[in-house]
Structure 1
Amino acid sequence: MIILECFINNFHPLSEQSYQKVLSLAKLLKFSNKDILTKYGETPKNLFILKRGVVRSYYTDNNGKEYIRSLFTTFSASGSLGALITNKPSELTYDCLTDCELYAINYKELKKLALQDKDVSYMYANALESIFLIFESRLYDLSVLNATERYLKLKTQIPEIENIIPQYHIASYLNISAVQLSRIRKEIYSK
């Protein structure tokens, strides 16, 4: 529960009473590599906070090609937030790229609690702002940074990424081909 408490307090320190209310909504679940948290077209119920592991969100085009939108690692929130907010089917699939432990929190119950508890409301608002900033940064990266810069930034964020998930997932996240990623890595490591 220490990771959950640190995660929550990172956005807004909660009183013990407020923390216990949030804690009562959280269930620690274990998932295996390739387990699906939310399927495309499914209306999700839970928001997830990663205790351990790597989760991805991805789109699949009409030809079956996958495009990774986000990678989530320990101490981050995951889940189809847009679908949770609108209570509509998810446009993305969320699955585990490694064995994972996640806290599942029923989103509707959390939102209800935020309406009743000022501390939880502040934490919720700050968490949404943080998520917005993360997505804004991701859009900037894809729009402005070249492939090598995106790879180096990812390596800064997740130094051991190449030992954790397959290269083709890394390439998909960077929006490049596996061959291009191989060339980038060869050029960087030959220096």
Structure 2
Amino acid sequence: MSVELRKHIEEIVPLNNKEFEIINSHFKSKSLKKHQYLIQEDEAVKNIYFVVKGLLKATYTDINGKEYIIQFAMENWWISDFQAFYNNVKSITNISCLENVELLSIAKENLDQICSESHKMEHFFRVKNSSGYVALQQRILSLLTTSPKERFEQFTKQYPQLLQRVSKTIIAAYLGISRETLSRLSGKL
């Protein structure tokens, strides 16, 4: 039984023991080591993942080989190639481990089943998906409309714990700036 998953769900909906047992039965544990891939480009994506422990990054590589960091996922976050998962298409992203990770996975058919059988879980996943959409929209707008300094300040306020866990090179890539620019900006704070 995953205490972390239950706490995470109960931040949004209350559950009794029987409800959680049914929900938990749909999840499978998975462990990966630092630098291993959870998902690679052109794979079928059958699961979404809840991060129990560790840190991952999702990246996209363009036709010129330039890598873009789309998102991070740490404890109590969800990660997958959601386009591939929900649309039953091949992955366009790579998801790799920045640390050793412990995950709980749920397959699409199990997710659909618990959502159809439990209004609470349907509500939970609707709230999580809505929050994810809002965060993605804010990230896109930040990349389009703010200066590197403003993006760095937003990042440090929003994700202070990542500053200690992720290299400056990776943070710079996430912010869409050079490592040198990040060093200059972080030296001013």
| Counterparts in 2 of 1:73 and 1:157: CA distance versus 1, 3 Å | farther
Cα distance in 1 for partners of 2:19, 2:146 equals: 41
Q: CA contact under 8 A between 1:14 and 1:120: conserved in structure 2?
A: no
Query: In structure 2, what is the Cα distance between the partners aligned to 1:147 and 1:89?
Result: 33
Aligned to 1:53: 54
What are the Cα deviations for residues 60-113 of structure 1, in whole angstroms up to 9, with x where unaligned?
122222100111111111111111111111111111111111111223211122
Corresponding residue of 2:87? 86
5+ residue gaps, structure 1: none
CA distances 1:141-176 after superposition (whole Å, capped 9, x unpaired)? 212222112212222233243431222111110011
- Name the aligned partner's letter for residue 184 of structure 2: R
| SS of equivalent to 1:22 | helix
Query: C-alpha displacement at 1:38, in angstroms?
Result: 0.9
CA distance in 2, matches of 1:58, 1:132: 17
Aligned positions, number = 188
| RMSD over aligned Cα atoms | 1.6
Tell me the distance in 2 between the aligned counterparts of 1:13 and 1:81.
26
Counterpart Cα distance in 1 of 2:165 and 2:21? 34
Q: What TM-score, normalized to structure 2?
A: 0.91
Secondary structure of the 2:136 match is helix
Whole-angstrom distance in 2 between the partners of 1:87 and 1:103: 20
Which deviates further from its counterpart, 102-111 or 9-18? 9-18
Q: Distance in 2 between matches of 1:146 and 1:169?
A: 18
Structure 2: 5+ residue stretches without partners: none
Moved more, 77-86 or 141-150: 141-150
Map of 1:5 onto structure 2? 6
Distance 1:125 1:133 in 2: 12
1:18, distance to aligned residue in structure 2 (A): 2.7
